[in-house]
Amino acid sequence: MKSPAGGPTPAEPPWRWRTDGALLILALALPALVYVPITRNYFNSDDFLHLYRIVNGSLAQFLLNMHGGHLLMTRNALFVLSHALFGTNACGYFWLVLLTHLVNVFLLFRIIRELTGGARLACFGAALWGILPVQEGTLGGYSVYGQVVATTLTLWVLLALVRTACGARPHPLAPLLWVLLLLGAATSFGVGIGVACVMPLVAVLLLPMSRVNARITAVLTALAVAMPFLYFRLQKLYVDLYGGLESSLLLVAGLNQWHEHLELLLGLIAYGILSTVVGVFDLVAYPGIAAYAVVAAYGAALIAALATGSWILRRRLVACLALCTAAYAVIAAGRGMFAVSAETPRYHYLGTAPLAIATCLLLAEGARRWRPSERAKSALLAVWLAATVAFHFAAGRPIDHFAFSRRETDEVLAQIRRAARSVPRGEDVYIENRTFHSVFHLTAGQEGDFPGWAAVFVIYFPTDVVEGRRVHFVEDDPSVLESTRGGRRTAGLLVSPEAVPGPIYRAPKPAWARRRAGP
């Protein structure tokens, strides 16, 4: 027996709940199998920059920092907590990422189960989304963990709305909790801002008309209205306290390039659809005629369902499309002026989740019309699972563990220890400061944001003393010296060549650096 809204009711027999449990375990096992290798990943680029800021700057400044124009207070707080728990053990960070990803798979399973009434579809949709190759772009780098958290909080609220739509009675204070969760999503990654702004529309589409549901929508609308003011106010607060440039001004200045933002938005949606539909099997190259054909076919299926489907199906599909568009719109607004590629994997984690839900809604509508048997449904799911697992192992998709970053870090730490042992115990050692290539996004004039080997040193060594010798780094760039004087660890750590009383340790270039430099 099913509820009028399509979800299961408590009257369903116990064997059905046992079946649901088995399918849920299957939906979790497949993404776990595919993405457990990320636990061997290492820090890279922005990860080092954030670790450096945690150990060298003030806690308040790091928490308020809006790196890349994102509101990141929640993400930053989680980064500080992870550093307190795991230090520089990257494995702990990425186990946290994997477990959060599996929570998202679980929430997606529950949402699809409630909306379609089908545990097999829920297993398919949750597993499909959880194993998409495009997800590595977000799961593989800890600095993008905020998008994983934003997705968790978004799906939590979406599940609560779906359950309410299916007849559950929320606690009177539940809408306030949902606002806090959406606020957490908005301050975890930029896509959360778009979700918070569109969630009132999602509530209107999902919830039947009632006085209680009107209050829910009103509370969510208040947050949506407040979000733009909160965004600009927090940016101004950071600039007033710590200086710098408001990235929101760049956003406003770039709006005259609206055609580039629109082009990126459409590209993101198209690539998100392609990734969701055929991305698991990597059959179609984007851009290309075949890719556009897949996207067009998906769009035609959506249009047909919206034209001929039930009133409830239409509203649910529009709600999914609104969430997808809102997530991608924030990315397009913030990155459209920089000519970035819509194929960038880290842009698609949250946006593909509502696409997976919409795909399952379309499949459920097809099953309602053509009425395949229960055995046929089970057989189709089994074939898909077997083909997916076989293709995954046959394709041998490698996970980028950032081996270069690990190797370069190990080389730097080894050279620092070698330099310390080159002078008698109790004396000071002066090491030539060098660029740290794994933080590759810094350009000329920004070296003080991450002062090379000196920054790596403060991340990995708790004090300035190594094996009984005090360490200094010799830096000949006055701007870098000036920018590091206010740091908790770098104040006094970097010195100019004129202030060095003895020999300077100059480490030999590693083999990879000599090959890069040429003969």
Q: 3 pLDDT band (50/70/90 cuts)?
A: very low
Spatial neighbors of 195 by CB under 8 A, at least 6 apart, are 150, 154, 182, 185, 186, 323, 326, 327, 350
Q: Any alpha helices (H) in 279-396, and if so which ranges? A: 289-308, 311-335, 352-370, 374-395
CA-based nearest residue to 199, from 177, 224, 180? 224
pLDDT of residue 6: 45
- Rounded CA separation 384/367 (Å): 16
pLDDT digits (tens, 9 = 90+) for 467-476: 999 999 999 9
How many whole angstroms separate alpha carbon 9 and alpha carbon 369? 23
Rounded to an integer, the average pLDDT of 454-471 is 95
User: What confidence tier does 255 reach under pLDDT thresholds 50, 70, 90?
Assistant: low
Among 129-138, 209-218, 395-404, 479-488, top mean pLDDT goes to 129-138
Cis? peptide before 13, omega within 30° of 0: no
469 by DSSP, 3-state: which? strand
Tens-place pLDDT, residues 193-236: 999 999 999 999 999 988 888 999 999 999 999 998 998 888 88
- pTM here is 0.92
pLDDT reported for residue 511: 63
The predicted model gives 305-328 an average pLDDT of 95
Residue 283 corresponds to which amino acid?
A: L
Residues 496-519: tens digit of each pLDDT: 999 898 899 998 877 656 555 444
Q: Is the confidence at residue 335, as pLDDT, over 80?
A: no
Q: Which helix (H) or strand (E) covers residue 109, if one does?
A: helix 90-116
Contact residues for 499 (Cβ-Cβ < 8 A; gap 6+): none
- Calculate the alpha carbon distances from 352 to 126, 201, 272, 434 in Å: 11, 19, 6, 41
| Domain boundary assignment for the chain | 14-395, 403-517
